[in-house]
Amino acid sequence: MSFRFTVCQRSRLVRRVVIVTVMAMKWFLVPACAEEARAVPTPKEIVVTIDNFSFNPPEVTITPGTTVTWENRDDIPHTVVETGKSFRSHALDTGDRFSFTFAGAGDFAYFCSLHPHMTGIVKVQPPPGGAAAASMGGGHAVP
Ligand SMILES: [Cu+2]
């Protein structure tokens, strides 16, 4: 009789521990998930490679503040020149890099001045509901 009573008490204690543990996990898990959802990675630097007489990828879409770095992987020199002349690289030898940070929204078509058939475009689009929507153009070269 007394043995049965003990088992009953024990299982009640186990159930209580389980409930407390689940409640505690809820407290720990909810903020962790919320934080993860907020930290959606927005790349602030992307690389466009120059290979076999082409920019790869030829079209990129970024948000203002993003730095684009072009890297020449061809064994001949290339340049990166924006049609509106907002940026212009020197001749890039193999392995050379050129970076430009796009401050404002807009479409920036560019080409290689040594091989004008090589073209690409950078589309800078403000994040949804972002305050940067009003600013157009601009940016600066990264030394
Ligand atoms: Cu070229």
Q: Write the pLDDT tens digit of every residue in 46-89.
A: 999 999 999 999 999 999 999 999 999 999 999 999 999 999 99
- Nearest Cα residue to 63 out of 125, 129, 142, 128: 125
Residue written as token pair 């503040």:
65
In percent, how much of the chain has pLDDT > 90? 57
pLDDT of residue 107: 98
Please indicate whether residue 25 or residue 109 has the higher confidence score (pLDDT): 109
- The residues placing their C-beta within 5 Å of ligand 1, an ion, are 78, 112, 114-115
CA 127 to CA 15: how far, in whole Å?
49
CATH of 45-142, one of 2.60.40.420, 2.40.110.10, 3.40.830.10, 3.90.1150.10: 2.60.40.420
What is the DSSP pairing of strand 119-124 with strand 45-51? Answer: unpaired
**CA 29 to ligand 1 center in whole angstroms:** 52
Average pLDDT in the chain: 79
Q: What per-residue confidence (pLDDT) applies to 124?
A: 97
Question: Which H or E run includes 30?
Answer: helix 2-38
Ligand 1 centre to CA of 54 (Å) is 8
Cβ contact 72:53 at 8 Å: no
57 Cα: distance to centroid of ligand 1 (angstroms): 15
Residue of higher predicted confidence among 40 and 103: 103
Residue extents of the structural domains in the chain: 1-40, 45-142
- pLDDT of res. 136: 47
